[in-house]
Amino acid sequence: MTWQTGNIRKIHLVRLSNGEDLLRGLEEFAREAGIEHASILCGVGSIRTYHTHVVRTTKLPPGNDYVRAGGAYDILNVTGGILGGRVHAHIDYSDLHVAHGGHLEEGTEVLTFAFITIAELDGIDLTDLDRFPV
């Protein structure tokens, strides 16, 4: 286990519109705002396509299975972080019958809107937080 202590520098609200790619939009925001380290706190809205990946096995390294489909889905949440300027985000989404989720990939397209709340951090370096193995 490792841990760091820092402060929230600023809260940002990013709104994406119909047809925008969710991951690309978050990457563009991080680049334009010059954000190096942040926590993606939450996100809601809807999507018309999704592209995610999930871990495949319990053996290390686990490998990934990629899933892509279209339809009408509510965004239940978007979480993750901006790690050294790099977006690492996960998404949960649902239709009338089932909820899914996974690591956000390019190709997840906004239907109505998506708004994501991001806490820019100060005094915390998240650059290698998601690296495996450490």
Decide if 132 is inside a domain: no
pLDDT band at residue 134, thresholds of 50, 70 and 90?
low
pLDDT exceeds cutoff 70 at 98? yes
| 105 in any annotated domain | yes
Kindly state whether residue 134 falls inside one of the protein's structural domains. no
Counted domains in the chain: 1
Interval 36-86: pLDDT, tens: 999 999 999 999 999 999 999 999 889 999 999 999 999 999 999 999 999
pLDDT at 133 exceeding the cut of 80: no
Peptide bond into 62 cis (omega under 30): no
* pLDDT above 90: residue 131: no
Domain that holds residue 16: 7-122
- The CATH number of the domain holding residue 78 is 3.30.1330.80
pTM of the model: 0.94
- The average confidence (pLDDT) of the chain is 96
Domain membership of residue 35 (yes or no) is: yes
Contact between residue 110 and residue 46 where contact means Cβ atoms under 8 Å apart: yes
Position 130 in a domain: no
Is 91 among the domain residues? Answer: yes
Residue 93 covered by a domain: yes
Sorted by sequence, the CB contacts under 8 Å of residue 67 that are 6+ apart come out as 50, 51, 52, 53, 54, 100, 102
39 found inside a domain: yes
